[in-house]
Amino acid sequence: MKFNATNVRASASAADLIFEALREAIFTGEIGAGEHLRQDALAEMFNTSRIPVREALSRLEQQGLVKTERYKGTTVTSLSVDEVREVFEFRALLEGEVIRYAVENMDDETIEKARRACDAFATETDSARYGELNRDFHYALYAKAERPYHLKIVSQALDRIESYLRAQLVLTDGMERARREHMGILEACIARDKERAAELTRAHILGASASLISFLETRENSK
């Protein structure tokens, strides 16, 4: 007899929980850039020892969300405008290519799934969930590219700038524009027009980048 394949073993370890909590806190801005994270304090906060805390911090560092210096501790990293711009540029290149692959394998089921994600994004009113629903839509399409490595890197790039992405979406026209552009991408996928889908995706990302960067720069200047 074969046992039920439920993934009990994949249940989160303490390090997983701390990692997720910190990641989310950084994304929402609850922990601001430059802030110092002390291992002892975190261990106490999460009611564990330092061991899982260190593992979580190490993973955050690998993702570039924090930086730790020997004997000095770990701080939340802040990205410069140039760095943000570069990550968006990278995403435009990569996601454009990924959607091209995806359209090649596109089927009705995937389109249906993407349409639902698109609707969910368009009707959501809780701005805290914009980022998540935005990912849902794109990933629904990207899944069909059948390129797990590419997708992992896309995901990593999104993590790097997630907090900025969330900020961009809640800007006045960010959501409305994203809604429209998602529709366009979806239609190109339905028409199986991979070049148009790729071009729209690139434009979608670069447009968001431009709007975010102009926001960041005016904020920077007004300080």
CB 160 to a copy of itself: min, Å: 8
Place of tokens 């434009």: 203
- x/- mask, a copy of itself, residues 27-66, rule CB under 8 A, reads ------------------------x--xx--xx--x----
CA distances from 199 to 3, 69, 179 (A): 48, 41, 17
* Burial tier of 147 (Cβ tally within 10 Å: 0-12, 13-18, 19+): middle
Print burial letters for 174-203: b (CB count within 10 Å at least 16), e (below 16): bbebbeebbebbbebbeeeebebbbbbbbe
CB 64 to a copy of itself: min, Å: 8
Query: Is residue 37 part of the contact set for DNA (CB under 7 A)?
Result: yes
Query: Is residue 70 part of the contact set for a copy of itself (CB under 8 A)?
Result: yes
> Among residues 110, 99, 130, which one has the least CA distance to residue 197?
99
Indicate which of DNA, a copy of itself, none lies near residue 184 (CB less than 5 to 8 Å, by partner kind): none
Residues numbered 1 to 20 that lie near DNA (CB under 7 A) are 2, 8-9, 13-15
For a copy of itself, which stretch binds (CB under 8 A), given 5-13, 118-126, 128-136, 175-183? Answer: 5-13
Other beta carbons less than 10 A from residue 157's beta carbon:
16
CB 150 to a copy of itself: min, Å: 6
Structure tokens at 113: 């799934």
Query: Is residue 179 part of the contact set for DNA (CB under 7 A)?
Result: no
Indicate which of a copy of itself, DNA, none lies near residue 181 (CB less than 5 to 8 Å, by partner kind): none
Q: State the Cα–Cα distance between residues 150 and 148, nearest whole angstrom.
A: 6
Indicate which of DNA, a copy of itself, none lies near residue 148 (CB less than 5 to 8 Å, by partner kind): a copy of itself
Pair type for strands 36-37 and 73-76: antiparallel
Contact residues for 40 (Cβ-Cβ < 8 A; gap 6+): 50
- x/- mask, DNA, residues 68-107, rule CB under 7 A, reads x-xxxxx---------------------------------
Query: Is residue 97 part of the contact set for a copy of itself (CB under 8 A)?
Result: yes
Residues forming the site for a copy of itself (CB under 8 A): 9-10, 13, 51, 54-55, 58-59, 62, 69-71, 83, 86-87, 89-90, 93-94, 97, 147-150, 153, 157, 160
